[in-house]
């Protein structure tokens, strides 16, 4: 039996999720289980792929690979009839409450659109660093602070955030330095005072490259010829938010580039939702998954209300009454009396 919304909009999906990372897959599982016609369009570059062992995701006491989490998420979503296709959406428009998505391979149409396109953490511009991403070069102390306890840590950055990162890392290690990589320090006086007060060394020289072996950082090599023995690098260079589709549709974006949402992950554009790192969520997998689920619930409710208002549910029910058995069988035998 077809679902209610299929009656009025052929060739148009009930929901399209752009982005098959952690937030998008979580939404697809919920929407599939809610019997919605859901399509996930994904270009295949989830940040989760960078993490070899996720240690902070509920239910995996021994950790789980980011790739494995994604693979299982796809299998789980498909189990509930969510379709997942590989494509990159390059343009979007809306016409009469229908979103039209232009992909590199195909054009898609949908009534509800969830943008779960994520972000890109910019690594420091230092030769040798990229090879160590997710192994000894990190972006997030909530994700990775715990695994670097007692190690030698360099925070590469030159702003207030870098100073606060260094202060925060003191919980995990006594050996923390800030490396500005030859750039002018932009931190304010208060942050400069904290660096002095907490005796955090600052390396101001240009970093020529990073010495590493099997993705494990050994040292920072400065242009001056000196080395600093370091085990891990964190950086505060910033993020690129993949917000273009929401922007194109007129959604409000904050000054950092994050898509503004309400508690139900609704953007300022009717029918358009956003979830995961592209919103003001703290960029964590479990939060992205939770937001994806919350967005899916809101979309499901929204479609339900629409089907009542448009009488699509009514027409669906009429078809059910014609085709299906709609009344449970009632037994004719009387209940036995209990003996006194």
Ligand X SMILES: Cc1cc2nc3c(=O)[nH]c(=O)nc-3n(C[C@H](O)[C@H](O)[C@H](O)COP(=O)(O)OP(=O)(O)OC[C@H]3O[C@@H](n4cnc5c(N)ncnc54)[C@H](O)[C@@H]3O)c2cc1C
Count Cβ atoms below 10 Å from residue 167 Cβ, excluding itself: 18
Strands 137-138 and 232-235: parallel
Choices 9-17, 29-37, 112-120, 193-201 (CB under 6 A): range interacting with ligand X:
112-120
Q: How far apart are CA 25 and CA 46, in angstroms?
A: 11
Using CB under 6 A, which of 27, 38, 77, 143 touches ligand X? Answer: 143
The answer to whether residue 24 forms part of the interface with ligand X (CB under 6 A) is: yes
The answer to whether residue 22 forms part of the interface with ligand X (CB under 6 A) is: yes
- Of the pair 19, 32, the CB lying nearest ligand X is at 19
For the chain, the C-alpha Rg in angstroms (whole number) is 26
CB of 32 to ligand X, least distance (A): 17
Site string for ligand X, 158-177 (x = CB under 6 A): --------------------
Q: How far apart are CA 134 and CA 163, in angstroms?
A: 22
Choices 37-45, 197-205, 266-274, 300-308 (CB under 6 A): range interacting with ligand X:
37-45
Site string for ligand X, 228-257 (x = CB under 6 A): --------------x---------------
The answer to whether residue 60 forms part of the interface with ligand X (CB under 6 A) is: no
Q: Are 260 and 268 in contact (CB under 8 A)?
A: yes
**Bridge partners for 38 per DSSP:** 15
- CA contacts within 13 A on the Cβ side of 155: 28
Choices 116-124, 169-177, 312-320, 328-336 (CB under 6 A): range interacting with ligand X:
116-124
CB of 64 to ligand X, least distance (A): 10
The answer to whether residue 145 forms part of the interface with ligand X (CB under 6 A) is: no
The DSSP secondary structure of 60-112, one letter per residue, reads: -TT-B-HHHHHHHHHHHHHHTT-EEEE--EEEEEEETTEEEEEESS-EEEEEE
Choices 49-57, 154-162, 179-187, 207-215 (CB under 6 A): range interacting with ligand X:
49-57
Using CB under 6 A, which of 112, 121, 191, 221 touches ligand X? Answer: 121
How far apart are the two ends of the chain, measured CA to CA in Å?
A: 50
Choices 46-54, 205-213, 214-222, 252-260 (CB under 6 A): range interacting with ligand X:
46-54
Q: How far apart are CA 87 and CA 125, in angstroms?
A: 29
Using CB under 6 A, which of 15, 38, 41, 293 touches ligand X? Answer: 41
Choices 178-186, 189-197, 285-293, 304-312 (CB under 6 A): range interacting with ligand X:
285-293
Using CB under 6 A, which of 16, 28, 48, 294 touches ligand X? Answer: 48
CB of 306 to ligand X, least distance (A): 26
Q: What angle separates helix 22-33 from helix 66-79, to the nearest 10 degrees?
A: 20
The DSSP secondary structure of 177-201, one letter per residue, reads: EEE-TTPPP---HHHHHHHHHTT--
Q: How far apart are CA 272 and CA 290, in angstroms?
A: 18
Chain residues in the site for ligand X (CB under 6 A): 18-24, 41-48, 50-51, 54, 56, 88-89, 116-118, 121, 133-134, 139, 143, 242, 276-277, 283-286, 288
């Amino acid at each position: 039996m077809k679902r209610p919304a299929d009656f009025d909009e052929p060739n148009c999906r009930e929901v399209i999720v752009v982005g098959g990372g952690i937030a998008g897959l979580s939404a697809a599982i919920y929407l599939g289980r809610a019997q919605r016609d859901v399509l996930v369009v994904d270009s295949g570059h989830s940040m989760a792929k960078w993490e070899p062992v996720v240690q902070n995701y509920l239910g995996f006491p021994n950790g789980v690979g980011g790739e494995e989490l994604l693979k299982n998420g796809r299998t789980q979503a498909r189990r509930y009839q969510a379709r997942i296709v590989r494509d990159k959406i390059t343009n979007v428009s809306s016409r009469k409450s229908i979103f039209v998505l232009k992909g590199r391979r195909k054009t898609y149409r949908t009534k509800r659109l969830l943008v779960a396109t994520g972000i890109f953490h910019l690594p420091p511009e230092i030769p040798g660093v990229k090879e160590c991403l997710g192994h000894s070069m990190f972006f997030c102390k909530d994700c990775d602070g715990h695994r670097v306890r007692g190690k030698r840590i360099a925070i590469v950055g030159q702003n207030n955030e870098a100073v606060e990162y260094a202060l925060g890392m003191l919980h995990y290690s006594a050996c923390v330095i800030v490396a500005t990589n030859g750039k002018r320090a932009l931190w304010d006086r208060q942050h400069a005072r904290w660096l002095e007060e907490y005796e955090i060394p600052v390396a101001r020289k240009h970093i020529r490259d990073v010495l590493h072996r099997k993705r494990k950082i050994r040292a920072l090599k400065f242009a001056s010829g000196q080395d600093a023995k370091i085990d891990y690098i964190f950086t505060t260079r910033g993020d690129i938010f993949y917000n273009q589709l929401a922007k194109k549709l007129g959604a409000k974006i904050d000054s950092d580039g994050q898509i503004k949402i309400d508690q139900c992950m609704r953007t300022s554009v009717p029918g358009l939702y956003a979830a995961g790192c592209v919103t003001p969520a703290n960029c964590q997998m479990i939060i992205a998954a939770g937001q994806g689920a919350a967005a899916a619930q809101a979309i499901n409710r929204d479609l339900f209300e629409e089907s009542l208002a448009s009488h699509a549910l009514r027409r669906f029910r009429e078809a059910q009454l014609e085709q299906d058995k709609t009344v449970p069988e009632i037994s004719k035998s009387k209940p036995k009396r209990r003996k006194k």
